[in-house]
A and B are shown apart, each in its own frame.
Chain A
Amino acid sequence: MKKIIAIFCLAILLCCAFSGAAVVAEEKVVKVGVGAPSGDWGYPSPFGFYPRGPGYIRMSFGFDTLTWKDQNGVVIPWLADSWEMSDDGKTWTFHLHEGVKWHDGELFTAKDVKFTFDYTKKQKIAFKWFQSLDYIDHADIVDDYTVVIYLTKPFAQFLADIAGDVPIIPEHIWKDVSDPTKFTGYEAVIGTGPFKLVEYNKDLGCYEWEANKEYFKGKPVIDKLISMAVNDPAAALTTGGIDETSFWGQSAEAASDFENNPDFGVRWGPSYWVLQVIFNCEKYPTNITAFRKALAYGIDRKEIIEQVVHGYGISANTGIIHPDTEWYKPDLPGYEHNVTKSNEIFDSLNFTDTNSNGIREYPTGEELEFELLTIGKYSREAELIKSQLKEVGIEIGVKVMDWSTMDAILKEGNFFIAINGHGGISNPRILKAPDWPASTFHNDDYDSTFTAQEKTTIVTARKELVDHLQEIIADDLPVYTLYHPKMCCVYRQEKLDTWFFTKGGVGIGIPIEMNKLVFISEEAVSTPAPTSTPEQPGFEAVFAIVGLLAVAYLFLRRKK
């Protein structure tokens, strides 16, 4: 009887061993953690994501663009293999990659490209992400894999900002969709991208993608990608709840705990992000330029960087553009902390403390008090600014709100000063509204310079114009920039170690380490041939061998 049991066991173990080693190759899942509550960035369809960097990134996993940017910020062929620009800079011919398939199996052709540009232009309001679609006149099909895009006027950044930004959508799905923002569901996320959306949970801020095994640039190196909101990314990373997360500003301090741990890798990059004090240029008294300057002199940026971000940030360029880019204009006035100067300006504007209570009064006699709006994340900065401005006799109340409320209030213009930040400052495009998203600033010289630089395709000439824009901002001070945070990503080495920050940011300048190239093997990008990974014997094999030995031992013992 014992013998039968032993043989039975042996058989099971053998089955285990072979099936285990041969079939069960472990699924490679990478979980990206985002600090709660900001996990939700909208439905990742081209018209459904929230118009912010993380939203675009999530959408870009499912959809491709004609060109893309590599680690060094160089525009590389993507859906288009090559392209030509006409001499007047208004006509672009793209030769598309052949044999690309949509997630549903249909073939991608020039018709889809033409459709995308026509459709996006028609649905300009729905496509919140990109404002420069005015440049597109129309697109024409030459043959199945050649498409020509006609612009209304030359656009210097066309390759990166339009060809590398507008997600190409399948005509066969979208042609009947009249309200793209309401179009959600499986079909709305069918693209050509390296990942297919499996699940999106708005309340949990969770996305789950599976690899598109037929991706034309090669099968992604992971099988599943999950992006989820976690309460404490650092703790989740330590416990293995997530495999990667990023920190910036003060929270980058957490990275120092991982830097000496061999299990984790840390990579640093510029954030292309700026925190700024936004002034309402339409409302008295912040509509007075000198008044804004006096406030700027009252603010001590160095103290904020030291105390709040603990040195994980640099004093911002008052012209907004990030110093790590080619467009940066150095040596603009920084309005470094100067209490005497601030006091002098306030006095000269007749905002004096007539009743000696330590707070200045309006020339009409009312106390000079106002609210500083901010979102919870920046309440420490607000706290410091409050105490700094108190020293120059301005009383400030801090009001904290969530960012969607803040955006709405800034648009309405119902505020005096606010603290808010934005990214994209590697790209002159962001200078469209220097006090974005408040837009209370009006300056004709500025507007015409901005339009001129957009059309200028000669880099040096354009640089001069962009310099001038930065000078105007630093001079008129619609916003006073505080700091550019440093940024880093921390990842578990064994899961995936290809993370990188794209120079100049992904797309139009998103400083997120989730460029889709991270998930595609490097060789695959240069030579588009899918590679298969050899399957390794897992623990099942070891288990089976030990089992076999144990059974053999039992037999031998019985014989004795």
Chain B
Amino acid sequence: MSTMEGLNRFWTAYKEKRLGLIGLGILLFFVTLAIFAPYIAPYDPHEMYKPVEHPNSDHLLGTNDIGQDILSELIYGSRVSLFIAFFVSVVSAIIGTSLGLLSGYFERIGFFLMRIVDAFLAIPRLPLIIVIAAFMPPSIWNLIFIFVLLGWPITTRIIRSEVLSLKNRPYVDAARMLGARDFYILGRHILPNVVPLIIVQLIMEAGYVVLAESGLSFLGLGDPTAKSWGMILHYSFEYPTIFISDLWMWWMLPAGLCITFTILSLTFIGYALEELVNPRLKVVEL
């Protein structure tokens, strides 16, 4: 079974999951926003107009405390959140998977790697992220670095345990007896079987990163000049009359909803995938 074939079968099964499709739809919406932000957003999010305007025909969601168009901020904000989420999840999936494959297949490497993974997993993630973020100059790349640094061990652990069971399957033994080299077996016979797991892990990680990034920005630990949803929340919370006037309705709420829906969509997708990956898909395979 090639990787492509696996994905095809995967998609056919996925199409049956209604929740998964809804999730995918929402996610696609935000991805479109992010990619075409300069064309969709009515203004440059850094451009300044009259501050704290209520929604009107010029500014559909009004303007923020320094007069930037909130709608444009939201649209550009999807770039930051999704970019960080996908970049981090892909990079940590790549690192996690390769290390997972190696450590599962070559047990001696595995032993050492797993001790490192243990160390990383033993530390609670979010507090550590906050501590590191507080000491590093706030920038998107530093955030990405922190998330990747703490994101790969989980993937490694999951992939390794799968590889441990896969490598003793008869078809792998057969390939080995026919003279296949280790890396050929890993790439050809084991990797395709862990792809679904990787995708689930990737999606879960993305959801986590969206939330963590927003959280850090909200706490004021992100780049204060970046336009992200968390930063919008941060500044709106700091505004003195945010809760005694109607401001929160078009300033705070939409940013909160964007974060919520993004994470919700990723969670839906994650659920759908997990249902597929857990015994069912394997039943089909056997």
One of A233, A387, A399 near B138 (C-beta < 8 A): A399
Q: Which chain B residue shows the least CB distance to A397?
A: B137
* Known contacts A232-B240, A234-B240, A257-B245; A384/B224 CB under 8 A: no
Contacts of A238 in B (CB 8 A): 244
Interface size class of A (residues with CB under 8 A): 20 to 34
CB-CB contacts below 8 Å: A257-278 with B: 257
Q: Which chain A residue shows the least CB distance to B241?
A: A254
- How far does the alpha carbon of A406 sit from the alpha carbon of B241 in the complex, in Å? 28
- A383 lies within 8 A of chain B by Cβ: yes
Contacts of A250 in B (CB 8 A): 65, 240
Contacts of A382 in B (CB 8 A): 224-225
Q: Mark A204-247, 1 if CB is under 8 A from B, else 0.
A: 00000000000000000000000000001111001000000001
A454 CB to nearest B CB, Å: 39
- B274 lies within 8 A of chain A by Cβ: no
A216 CB to nearest B CB, Å: 39
One of A257, A386, A397 near B244 (C-beta < 8 A): A257
One of A308, A371, A383 near B225 (C-beta < 8 A): A383
Q: Which chain A residue shows the least CB distance to B64?
A: A380
- How far does the alpha carbon of A306 sit from the alpha carbon of B50 in the complex, in Å? 9
- A290 lies within 8 A of chain B by Cβ: no
Q: Mark A124-160, 1 if CB is under 8 A from B, else 0.
A: 0000000000000000000000000000000000000
Q: Mark B38-51, 1 if CB is under 8 A from A, else 0.
A: 00000000101001
Whether the pair B48, A307 counts as a contact (CB closer than 8 A) is: yes
* Known contacts A232-B243, A234-B244; A310/B139 CB under 8 A: no
B14 CB to nearest A CB, Å: 43
A416 CB to nearest B CB, Å: 13
- A398 lies within 8 A of chain B by Cβ: yes
- How far does the alpha carbon of A383 sit from the alpha carbon of B138 in the complex, in Å? 13
One of A232, A234, A307, A400 near B67 (C-beta < 8 A): A307
Whether the pair B240, A379 counts as a contact (CB closer than 8 A) is: no
* Known contacts A254-B240, A257-B245; A307/B224 CB under 8 A: no
Contacts of B67 in A (CB 8 A): 307
Q: Mark A5-29, 1 if CB is under 8 A from B, else 0.
A: 0000000000000000000000000
Q: How many B residues touch A, CB cutoff 8 Å?
A: 21
Contacts of A398 in B (CB 8 A): 138, 223-225
Contacts of B51 in A (CB 8 A): 306-307, 310
A236 CB to nearest B CB, Å: 10
- How far does the alpha carbon of A438 sit from the alpha carbon of B225 in the complex, in Å? 25
Chain A interface, >50% SS class? helix
Whether the pair B137, A399 counts as a contact (CB closer than 8 A) is: yes
- B220 lies within 8 A of chain A by Cβ: yes
- How far does the alpha carbon of A407 sit from the alpha carbon of B137 in the complex, in Å? 17
- B52 lies within 8 A of chain A by Cβ: yes
One of B66, B138, B240 near A380 (C-beta < 8 A): B66
- B261 lies within 8 A of chain A by Cβ: no
- A253 lies within 8 A of chain B by Cβ: yes
B47 CB to nearest A CB, Å: 10
Contacts of A330 in B (CB 8 A): none
- How far does the alpha carbon of A176 sit from the alpha carbon of B67 in the complex, in Å? 58
Contacts of A380 in B (CB 8 A): 65-66, 235
One of A233, A253, A303, A376 near B220 (C-beta < 8 A): A376
- How far does the alpha carbon of A254 sit from the alpha carbon of B243 in the complex, in Å? 11
Q: Which chain A residue shows the least CB distance to B245?
A: A257
CB-CB contacts below 8 Å: A353-384 with B: 371, 376, 379-380, 382-384
Q: Which chain B residue shows the least CB distance to A35?
A: B240
What are 20 contact pairs spanning A and B, CB under 8 A?
A: A232-B244, A233-B240, A234-B244, A247-B240, A250-B240, A307-B51, A308-B66, A371-B137, A376-B224, A379-B225, A380-B235, A383-B66, A383-B224, A383-B225, A384-B66, A387-B46, A398-B138, A398-B223, A399-B138, A400-B220
**Which positions in B face A, CB cutoff 8 Å?**
46, 48, 51-52, 65-67, 137-139, 220, 223-225, 235, 240-245
**Which positions in A face B, CB cutoff 8 Å?**
232-235, 238, 247, 250-251, 253-254, 257, 303, 306-308, 310, 371, 376, 379-380, 382-384, 386-387, 397-400
